[in-house]
Structure 1
């Protein structure tokens, strides 16, 4: 989902950083639009680092893209936290003198304001009238919490907790999303793996990878929205559990294989999406105590770690179903390209080798895909020469594209 997070100039602006974190960790693409006053509390580098997107307050920035209109037109949700008395007054009267207020005027999606101000300002007749006007126009204005304010003051006017703000904002969007989201997976049982496995060397070290689990969680969340019963096998992921998903937590490749096989053997899984980054190798032996460095004079030796292959979970799923077509199996190919070929070349070879029904290929690296909120993927299917390319796009949008293809194939 594309979210515009507006931040106005109150001391509670620092709490919006956690609101942003909660939204991005849930897989949403967030553009932060602070006011000039907000940047005096929290600087642009903080918002850019947390969102991964450029930050601006001016309508004069990025003029060719008509940013002051485009942001509101393209957003699925506009959330302002904190919303000061001044911001709400300007919004109520249709003033548009910066990027945030022009975005509010252009938005045709749900708009949610989370007020924060001193009690006297919240209860002032002007603010009361402005809130009433905004609510009459369909804007969701949350009631502020009551508690400690700036200095020694207490009373109503405190910014609600970030978790409450995010929950209320998503609830405002839910009716729109439900109306727009097809129920083409209703009655289906979907099994999704996500994250990256870790293969222990000793009690404190492991072999792992950079996968954050964001794409797999987005795939699971979209399946649940489309009516599926979702089992999410999660390997070392620190994200909030998507609504409507049952989570099975695993650590290693062998544990992931065991969880996947157990779910499929139960006999009612219709689709398996292997989005997890499963380690190809694991240490042949596990050291029960921490492996120590040698400390002798001139001894700079290091231990040699022998590796053994992990089972190929994806190929095993295809082989286990024999000649049957169920469950429908979706694989992922995270490739860097090498001397033997580019990302698509390696992905096509993997599709032929694994025998899955759909392969999602993407280019990965230290600053690509893993941990990012956007990506570009190529969807490859057997017998289809040209892949379907999606992106650059949010991982939620990519998840929708994957399920569009899968649902069409299932029907």
Structure 2
């Protein structure tokens, strides 16, 4: 946010200063500042009553890191020994690298489970993604990458609107790819994960991601400390974890190099390839989720929470009291999903195989439905 400094100590300037700060703050969208007051502040700035301070360059890293001597930890030394013996890394170079890694408390705090008792709210979640800024950015992204999107659809059978939806939900088409040093985030989570029932399993997972981050950086000739990403270590426009980059990323722009940070084509092709590898079927119908109503008998509840897969026939679901205004194909399997709305009525849908392929990207009904809805909104805006 740009900061403004008063050139005078008068009451008027102080008032205008506080007012202009409110106008320019990110939360100003919801403020009660009148149009007249906003105009006064802007006019004052133009006349020099309030002068802007010199701009500061944005911080390159978005974290508060602190030095922890990870090199002295036995479990870290054991990990580095394995990297040297299994993958041929120079042990001295690994020691030097780990000496530059920082503990990031922000990643630890963000990994802690949400407080119990807060109800899920699909409408509030959806509103974060199906909004004008993201939709307009999606239209621009589609226009600029129409050829790559069409080619991905031909080669992989994944519609452009689904790819556009995923990249839009993940990073607003590359605007928010994360500014945490990936090595800091992954080392912190691999060896300093917060206390939880799943701590051991999660630490093992992030240790594997740290291993893959080092392998990826070596393979691409990248200084691993220059890799920036999310607080959990996800990288690039599609926010692939390092293991996903190694397994599913593709060179879709034909330059013999995979770059999910700068190549929109590589990001598009990699998203499509990921979905296919996780069960996407090109010949399934374009509609992948059907809104339904459920009967008061609640027999249908046995179909909820049955895992991230389409397992049930339409006849089974209908007999249990699930009905749809549309006519889903009879020859497919479905899952029954619930989209909770806090104190409001829960929404239900029948989800096909391709819906659950999207949940392999992020294991959430809310996420998959937001991808579908954003892709549809961008497609409709593009057609106007």
Higher helix fraction: Structure 1 or Structure 2?
2
TM-score, normalised relative to structure 2:
0.21
TM-score, normalised relative to structure 1:
0.20
Higher strand fraction: Structure 1 or Structure 2?
1
Where relative contact order (Cα < 8 A, 6+ residues apart) is larger, the structure is: 2
